[in-house]
A and B are shown apart, each in its own frame.
Chain A
Amino acid sequence: MICAKNITMQFDDFTALKNMSCEIPDGIIYGLVGSNGAGKSTFLRLLSGVYRPKSGEITVDGAPVYENPNVKKKILYVPDELYFLPQSNMRVMANFYAAAYEDFSYDRFEKLTKTFGLDPTANINTFSKGMKRQASTILALSAMPQYLFFDETFDGLDPVMRNLVKQVIYNDVMERKTTTIITSHSLRELEDTCDQLALLHKGGIVFESDIQNLKTSLFKVQVAFKERFDRAKFENIEMLNYTQAGSVATFIARGDREAVAASIREKNPLLLDVLPLNLEEVFIYEMEALGYAFKDILM
């Protein structure tokens, strides 16, 4: 389990993370969303032991990460900007990883290399950006870490490869109960991938939730009545946003979908539509409820 308590990280005058706290349970895919500069990469570097927090504490399985090889060998961090040894090929890199990570599986490496159709003896410098991403994913998964951190890992991948990468990550989580953190500035990218999502803004997590809950707990209601009405008509429903045009009202409701629908039906509406929200819409409304303008955070 990953536990971050009141983490603060500063670079000269810039505060990248400010009193950030979170707990990430084992065996899940944890999505971290935020705009550029929100602190996602910094958080992953802190989790990987690349940085030491200015204050606060980061533990993995109860032990601090920084300068702790016993913990770091359970972790593999695939950064946004990939690095490979100069003039190396994937086999050279595999040897390097195998030297650093004692559980490195050459079987898995060979299998994944074939799956992705990469030539392990070709100089990595000749790879395209997407191929480098695939290579780094293969190497990371072959190292068999307990914790896998991917920073903007779907960048530069075509849709087919994106799905393939997602698939191998899913498989890894399923088979080995790997705890995976994926960061992205695109909510849609993580919508169908993660078990849990957190929104990072200005160095702090402003919102964190289980995706399934998130998607089902909010929904959009469109309703019309013969008589004149206003918001007070729905005072028993927890709503995040309410607009009304003439006799038609639209609002975002939180709670049990069926119970809300039943409660409205009792009021004999002319029209009632209960619509699901996509993750981005859920985030927009949740953020608004928290007093943030979503476009300021992710747009």
Chain B
Amino acid sequence: MKNIFSKSLYLQGLRKIRTAAIAMAIIIIAVNALVPIICIVDSQFDFPGMNRSVQIIEAPVAAPAGLGMILFAPLLTYIMFSYLNERRASDFYHSLPQKRICVYISFIAAILTWIAATLIASAILNAILWGIARYYSVSVLAMVMSTVTYFITALMLVGFMALAMTVTGTAVSNILVFILFALFIRAFGLFFLYGLQEVAPIFNVTNSWLGIFDFDFFLPLRLFMDFDTYNRELGFYDAGLLCYWAVVGILLLVAAGFFYHRRKSESATKSAPNQIMQHIYRIAVTFPFMMLMMFMILLDENFESYHLIFIVFAALVWIIYELLTTKKIKNVLKSAPLFLVPVLLSLGYVGSVYAARGVVYNTTPERDEIVSVQMDGGSNRYYGTWDAAIVYSHSVEDPDVLDMVSVALAETKETLHMTSSERYQQGYTGQATLTLELKSGKKVTYNLVSRFEFYNTLVNSDDLYALCHTLPPDEMIDSIHVDSLSLREYQNAIWAAFREDYAAMNDQEKAGYYNWNNRSSYTMTYIYINGTYRDRNFHGQYGLDPQFTPKAYALYMEYHNRENPPLKGLENVRDTLNAIENPENHLVSLEIIGTDKTNASIFTEDIRVIKEFLNTLEIDKHLIEYTTAKTIYEVNTYVDTDSANYYMVDENGLKQYVEVEDANYYINNTYYVTLSDEDIKMYYEIEKKYQNNQKNYETETVIVD
């Protein structure tokens, strides 16, 4: 242990990068804290009648940390190992009485300590702040896993930078080789992948092992792309992917340690440790542009006219790289003949793509070779429906399905020469990526087109039908949410009641329920669930209805009215309106919807109508009686209590609505009440009365900067 880690060097390492590390800590902790602080401040502006439900923060809870790490992890590494770029500094560190690997490990440990400390401090502060925020509940798992995800991101980037710095010796070459390792190698793989997919569209290469090159697998880029998803449940916590990234990060650090151990002190100030590596670097930075040119040719046959531009561009990159790293024009001239290498390599790329295509086309399986088929649903991280989670997680052996796939395979090969629109016109509307398991045990993934509707066929296959039409088991459900209810026990109870309702349905009723659930334009409320089935995330949305789900519906009404008492709430609205002196200066609306759609919807913004209706209505008679009411009315009220300065009638009698966003203090609530036909009739009479008396009001919206 003493030979591979030195506490004193570790402490010196912590000191060495402390300025940048403290800056990192301040920026990341402060920016991460902003979101909960904003929520805390926002929650201070509650006012009577305002109803908020608790928002559950699932993931990722500290997105800025991820972005911060993309910048700071390589920066800290660069500062720590910058002595490798300076001869005298390199000599100094190499003369220390420690093994090289000991220096390396101690310094890497110091970098990772700063990163971990920053992330942990940020997570703890965030947890405290979210704890203070009144309407938010943060998942501890989300907090921990986000922190782990960002740490692994940092680990990878530290690894990439350390590796780049141990095999180069100048700042420019450090950065270029860092980019080369982090992005270009993956880009090489992707060019091959998509080139092959272009010339052999039937073959889904991203689903083979080559899919590892997909940028979706590159955590830093994913963090960057998903930066705005702070409040969404994106499924960052794919344990398999996290492990993969962690292993990649560790392997990078091990590789960097190996090169650090082998590194010669005299490599400092040299762009590459030797001539061969310099050749490799200059070819590597130029090759992507040549490859991109070839890739564009593969995509578009008319691209030939741009060849020269790409070649000139690649040559410029070659020259600039040489000048930046060696600073000698004679080196550019000396290396010029080697420019042929990337040219030849790019030709080799095209050749290999076409060779791979030949292999793909000649090896499509016959029907009797296919044992099972499974539909590809993309990344496990994305939330699909429950039945999608099943379809994408199970292979199907139903002979009818296998026949269909075999036909689809043949049809796909036959239609390869067509464009996608031609195929569509010919009736080949079904498209899917299917993985076939062959008798040999081999699995092959194809992009198929067919006249068949693949997904529905699989849902209704013998293998999957029963499973798809069953509710997800509770142990697979991660969260349950019911609109407008904040207490978790209410939500769980409603889900349990819904489960009972569902169990009581026969197959025909279930089919009817699914049809209603999928197509109904009006549903009072939904139960939303999120869960995980075989590592695949799913969500469900189940509407509540007195006919299909009577128990759950009744319970929902009870809980909703318990949290939003209609009597008190509507009385508040009425009293608020009565207290308003200049009604025309306020934005108020009333919407009444019959939940069984037996009555026409009502919507008005005329405060006089609303006031008179609520004053005439004997509100206390309209308390909900849960399931006894045949028709329940959803009454949505909107009362802007602070709009006097922004809503006025001008001299022409025109209503001017001046929108000032931060002045919107409003009561916006939904109440469920019972109304009789007489009540509705009364409403229309009131409305008619005011329509007859109405001045010629028109509404105009004026947005003030």
Contact = CB atoms under 8 A, between A and B. Distances in A.
Contacts of A81: 87-88
A96 B12 contact: yes
A133 interface: no
A49 interface: yes
A100 B87 contact: no
Interface string B250-270: 000000000000001110000
Contacts of A293: none
Interface string B70-99: 000000000000010011110110111111
8 contacts: A12-B274, A12-B275, A45-B265, A49-B94, A72-B96, A99-B11, A100-B8, A100-B98
Interface in A4-58: 11-12, 45, 48-52
B87 A77 contact: no
A238 interface: no
Interface in A78-111: 79, 81-83, 85-86, 96, 99-101
Nearest to B100: A67
Interface in B2-16: 3, 6, 8-9, 11-12, 16
B88 A69 contact: no
Size class of the contact patch on chain B: 20 to 34
Chain A contact residues: helix, strand, loop or mixed: loop
Given A52-B264, A69-B102, 9 more contacts: A11-B266, A12-B275, A51-B264, A72-B95, A77-B91, A79-B88, A83-B88, A100-B9, A100-B96
A77 B95 contact: yes
B265 A100 contact: no
B278 to A, nearest CB: 11
A75 B97 contact: yes
Contact of A83 (B16, B91, B275): B91
Contacts of B91: 45, 50, 77, 79, 83
Interface of A: 11-12, 45, 48-52, 67, 69, 72-73, 75, 77, 79, 81-83, 85-86, 96, 99-101
Contacts of B94: 49-50
| Majority SS at the chain B contact face | helix
A51 B3 contact: no
A83 B97 contact: no
Contacts of A96: 12
B348 to A, nearest CB: 30
B326 to A, nearest CB: 13
A96 B96 CA distance: 10
A69 B266 contact: no
Nearest to B92: A83
A52 to B, nearest CB: 8
Interface in B591-609: none
A96 B153 CA distance: 31
Q: Which of A51, A79, A99 has the most CB of B within 10 A?
A: A99
Given A12-B275, A96-B12, A99-B8, A50 B99 contact: no
Contacts of B264: 51-52
Interface of B: 3, 6, 8-9, 11-12, 16, 83, 86-89, 91-92, 94-100, 102, 264-266, 274-275
- Ranked nearest first, the 6 interchain pairs of A and B with the lowest CB-CB distance are A99-B8, A73-B97, A72-B97, A81-B88, A83-B92, A83-B88
Contacts of B83: 83
Given A11-B266, A51-B266, A99-B8, A85 B98 contact: no
A67 B100 CA distance: 7
A52 B262 CA distance: 10
B98 A69 contact: yes
Give the interface centre of B3, B11, B91, B100 by most chain A CB atoms within 10 Å. Answer: B91
B86 to A, nearest CB: 8
Contact of B99 (A12, A67, A86): A67
Contacts of B9: 99-100
A96 B99 CA distance: 16
Nearest to A98: B8
Given A51-B264, A51-B265, A100 B88 contact: no
Nearest to A67: B99
Contacts of B100: 67
- The CB with the most chain B CB atoms within 10 A, among A12, A50, A75, A86, is that of A50
A87 to B, nearest CB: 8
B265 A85 contact: no
Contacts of B102: 69
Nearest to B265: A50
A12 B12 CA distance: 34
Nearest to B261: A67
A101 B97 contact: yes
B87 A69 contact: no
Contact of A100 (B3, B97, B99, B275): B97
A227 B265 CA distance: 66
Nearest to B93: A83
Contacts of A52: 264
